[in-house]
Structure 1
Amino acid sequence: MKITRKIINIDENLCDGCGLCIPSCHEQAIQLIETPNGKKARLVKEIYCDGLGACLGTCPTGALTIEEREAEAFDEEATQRYIAAETAHVESTEVRKTQEVPAFHGCPSARAFQWGEQAEPIKQSVQSLKSVVPQSELRQWPVQLHLVPPNASYFQDANLVMAADCVPFAYANFHQEFLKGAENAITVGCPKLDDTRAYLEKLTQIIRLNQLKSIHIVNMEVPCCFGLVRLVQQAIERAGVDVPVKVTTISIKGDKLT
């Protein structure tokens, strides 16, 4: 049944597919759809949108507005069933991933590795270069959020660094300041270009499955990059775990702003 009411309107000409609006919609009424013009935000169904506009403030391009038009009435019961089904899907995925890990047969770029101190022959070979070439402080693989296993051993009891893709290029001292230390783990992503819904699910799993000591978000000063903060906040809420969060912002010229 259609009625005249307020509902979200998405201007596809303005939408750049960043996905920042998705975690902000508590009804999960928005998703990214692949179109001939790239990924665009779309309403899943009119009945899932309550028209309150919680997603408006997260759109960096102004593609989201509230309009009053003829639309299907908001169905709270149907929306709750839809959210429950989506949550059940995520939780069933988490259960499967916490079971015994089979022999690895996937892409080598996604295979998890962890290492500590360098082997003695390698340490000896780089001794003379230490004063000239800074050492890498990376102790794990992979690092991309889509690729990291949520139950990887390097996340357990770790200080998690959640960095925007561009940060290590902009900030010269990234390894020494943010990665150094055996308890530090890292994952990276771009809230503008990547699938933020998948990011939210993965972050929720990482927080829920591991006893993280802290989360340090390191983002760039550009507006879309602050989507990482919102994603981490949403993931903590969904995981139901209290984790201390710190945010550091890097300027496009490589200065630490906060």
Structure 2
Amino acid sequence: MAVRKAVAVVSAGLLLAGGPVAAAQAAPAASATVSVLHGVPGATVDVYANGQKLLTNFKPGTLTDPLKLPEGEYDLKVTAAGKTAALIQANDVAVPGGANVTVVAHLDASGKPVLTPYVNDTSKLAAGQARITVRHTAAAPAVDVRAGGKPVFTGLTNPKEAKADLPAGTVKADVVLAGTSTVALGPADVDLKEGTNTIVYAWGSAADKNLKLAVQTISGLHGNPSGVPGGTGGQAAQQDLPVWPAVAVAVLMLALLGGGTAAVRTRS
């Protein structure tokens, strides 16, 4: 897979940068598990790390499979697909070893492209429990998320997240405008499987009427799984929404398109 080959090249470059003696003496670097969600409408880009192309023709709505990156510092660059000039560039971006991170390129509340890395909660769950995480990554106002008609996450604004551990099963959820009973999305049945963290992202723009949902599932959170849970990626859900939704901490990459410099935020 081209992405994994690029990661291997980056990893090798980091090792060789210290020379053969340093490489032989250094302890193995811990790796971070990283997924990337492209949530900026209308922008197809290439992503570079330390001068090596990491992602090619990265399209809106795509959630990558988890990648393993050695801990360290990375120089990152985003270009228009097939171009070399940097649209956005960030140097010496720290990648913490052992973390499970999802980096979301999205619009802020005003519609400006920004970068928000989230550290995913991979702590163990009790038997019979599941976790749901809701992340507001759309250019849209604040909302409340309800379960069974009762608010469980209130006043959620971009780029904040909220989460809860619940009994595994199906939850009937809807989204209302913050502080009101005006339904913006739903109701919908959300299937929460035991031992998983279901992460729901709302991305796009309410003003441009191109809001969509992306769903990420991290499994293996019960028992004693070996290593860091990776989760699942692939194509993000492409559900068009009539008004703002959001049924849903550390560092890394990607800043996508739009005028100016993207902000880098770390949520924890």
Structure 1 length as normaliser, TM-score?
Answer: 0.29
Q: Higher helix proportion, which one?
A: 1
Q: Which has the higher contact order (CA 8 A, sep 6+)?
A: 2
Structure 2 length as normaliser, TM-score?
Answer: 0.29
Q: Higher strand proportion, which one?
A: 2
